[in-house]
Every structure is written in structure tokens, then in C-alpha cells.
Amino acid sequence: MSLRTPLARVLGRGSAKEGVHHWLLQRLSSVALVPLSIGFVVSLIALPALDYFTVVGWVRQPGTALGLILFILVGARHSQLGVRVVIEDYVHAAGVKMLALVLSNFAHVLIAATAVFAVLKVALGARP
Amino acid sequence: MSERPLSPHLTVYKFKYTLATSILNRLAGLVLSVGLLLLVYWLAAIAAGVRAYAQARELLSLGAFKFVYALLLAAFVYHLAAGLRHLVWDTGRGLSRASAQRSAWVIAVASLVATLILIYCLLRPGAYAP
């Protein structure tokens, strides 16, 4: 048993024992994204037109709405994990790195929330 | 805490196409992250109503966006192929040099073909009724 605090470990002196979680989540989200992303693209190909009423009718189908929400949520999480590693690898100045990580995290949460809200509004709202 | 050695050391490796497949996978992932913004903009425009959607559609149908969509399709297909290759690697298979070089060619050719097919399906003139 170590008497060192977790903070002491992460301050440049070793692992915070969080890496496996990141690794596993990146893999699990990638596995989930295989059917979700292919389904999204196939669904786009199957759309006959891109006018407002066709597209709204498409989003209002329960399968589409659920697929879009899952795709966006898992995709945003996967993207957040990936962008995080890129920032950690290439941004070396500590302050800039922290700022970039925080901005990236905020942006990904905002993107996911906006998309889910938009899909739910169309899917559950009044028919136009 | 300063002056610790930090990976990755991009400059110390001899360039080989297997290295390019790895860097391209990262780049493709970043391109898709930006693509997520476009998807959300499109969904938000649908939710904002018929007039807002018409405006967004005018913007998104600009010729320059065709290039963006083609790039996104290529990034999607490549990231998918390279990601599947990584998942196979995670099982401990295909890690020998010969095997990794073979799979590099497989994902390059497969994603090129799939990108062209998707561009034909989604971006050819008249792919969607007006």
C-alpha cells in the first residue's frame, strides 16, 4: 500500500491509473460506432430528397431519431476522447494544454446536447 | 516536472507508408470531429423550422461544400477501415511487420474504392431530388 496521494502521483511522477478507462472507452465507442455510423450513411443514401418536409419526416421516424441520438452521443464521446489525446500529444505548454482540453470538452458537450435537443424537438414536436 | 521526455517523437522515425496510415487515421478522426459540427448545424436547422432550414440549405449547397462532403466521406471510410484494423490489432493479431504492411495496403485500397462509391451515391449531380 502506498501512502502517496493520487495528486502526488499525477504531478508528473507517475500514472493516475485512469488510462485504462480512457483506452477501454475509446475501443467500446469505436465498436458501437461501426453499426451506428454505417447506419447513418445508409440512411442518408436512402433519403429521396433533402427538402424540409422529407427531412422532417425522416427524423420523425422513431428508428431514425433513436439512431441519430445514439450516433451523436457515442460519436461525440469518441471524438472527445480522440481530440483529447491529440491535444495531450502535441500541445506541450501546460496552460495552453489545459485551456485546449477544457474548451474541447465544453464544445463536445455542447454539440451533443444541441443535437439531441434538435432531434427530440423534431421527433416529438408538432407535425409541421 | 519540466523537461520530462514526452512522446510521440515525430522526428525520430524513418518514414514508411505504415507510418502514414497511422497519421492519416488521426487526421481523419480530426476531420470527422469538425464534420460533427456540420451535422449538428444541419440538425439544428431542421429543428428551427422551414425558413431557417431553407437558409441553411442554401449555405450547405454552395459548391465549396461539395469538396468538404467528399473529404468527410473519405475521412469516414478511412477512419472506419483503420479503426477496424486497430481493433484487430487489439486482439493481438496482425502485428508482425509483413502483416501490418499488408493490412496498410488493404485499408488504403478498400477506403479509396468505398469513398468513390459513396461520392457517387451521395454527391453526384442529381443524387437528390431538388
Residue B36 lies in a domain: yes
What residues contact residue B95 under an 8 Å CB cut-off, 6+ apart? B89
Residue B8 lies in a domain: no
pLDDT in tens, chain B (130 residues): 456 666 677 777 888 888 899 999 999 999 999 999 999 999 999 999 999 999 999 999 999 999 999 999 999 999 999 999 999 999 999 999 999 999 999 999 999 999 999 999 999 998 887 6
Residue B9's CB is within 10 A of a number of other CB atoms, namely 8
The answer, yes or no, to whether residue A64 has pLDDT greater than 80, is: yes
Residue B85 lies in a domain: yes
pLDDT number for residue A11? 74
* Residue A34 with chain B: CB contacts under 8 Å: 80, 83-84
pLDDT tens per residue across span A73-123? 999 999 999 999 999 988 988 899 999 999 999 999 999 999 999 999 999
Residue B66 lies in a domain: yes
Residue A100's CB is within 10 A of a number of other CB atoms, namely 18
Contact A41 B118 (CB under 8 A): yes
Contact A82 B39 (CB under 8 A): no
* Residue A57 with chain B: CB contacts under 8 Å: none
pLDDT number for residue A16? 66
Residue B130 lies in a domain: no
8 A C-beta contact, residue B123 and residue B70 = yes
Beta bridge partners of B54: none
Residues of chain A contacting B, Cβ within 8 Å: 11-13, 27, 30-31, 33-34, 37-38, 41, 44-45, 47-52, 55-56, 59, 68, 72, 75-76, 79, 82-83, 86, 89, 92, 111, 114-115, 117-119, 121-122, 128
Residue A57 is placed in which grid cell? 419526416
Residue B39 lies in a domain: yes
Which residue is associated with the grid cell 489525446? A85
**Number of folded domains in chain B?**
1
Q: Binning pLDDT at 50, 70 and 90, where does residue A52 land?
A: very high
DSSP output for B84-106: HHHHHHHTT-S-SHHHHHHHHHH
CATH code for the domain of B118: 1.20.1300.10
- Report pTM: 0.89
Residue B90 lies in a domain: yes
Residue B6 lies in a domain: no
The answer, yes or no, to whether residue A67 has pLDDT greater than 60, is: yes
Residue B43, helix vs strand vs coil = helix
Phi, psi of B125 (to 5 degrees): -60, 130
Range of the domain at B33: 15-123
